[in-house]
Amino acid sequence: MAASWSTLREIGNMWQDEGFTPSCEPNDEQGQRRRLWREYEDRENWTDPHHVGRVLRVYDSLIAEVSTSRWSARAKRSNAMVST
């Protein structure tokens, strides 16, 4: 999901802001960004409600970033159409 739009640094920042570190274990994802995202997800304790809550905050920040980016792109296109 994040791998299609984000840089490695932005992905790392999202997870590290919530106190997570990557597993650094090899995985089967293709592409650096997808692999890095998976390294963070693979390290999590999905049975610990506190961990899951922190992961959900990472996902929330991703959704907010993508939504803002798409909204900005639409506004730019709309403005370009109005000004022509």
Contact 14, 54 (CB under 8 A): no
Q: What does the pLDDT read at residue 75?
A: 55
Across all residues in the chain, what is the average pLDDT? 83
Output the DSSP codes for 8-71: HHHHHHHHHTTT--------S-SSHHHHHHHHHHHHS-TT-HHHHHHHHHHHHHHHHHHHHHHH
pLDDT given at position 82: 52
Could you tell me the residue ranges of all domains in the chain? Answer: 2-83
According to the model, what pLDDT value does residue 68 have? 81
The reported pLDDT for the residue numbered 69 is 73
State how far the Cα of 14 lies from the Cα of 21, in Å rounded to an integer.
Answer: 11
Which residue pairs, CB below 8 angstroms and at least 24 apart, start in 26-34? 29/3, 31/3, 32/8, 33/2, 33/3, 33/4, 33/6, 33/7, 33/8, 34/3
- Each of the 84 residues of the chain gets a pLDDT tens digit; together they read 555 555 888 899 999 999 999 998 999 999 988 999 999 999 999 999 999 999 999 999 999 888 887 666 655 555 555 555
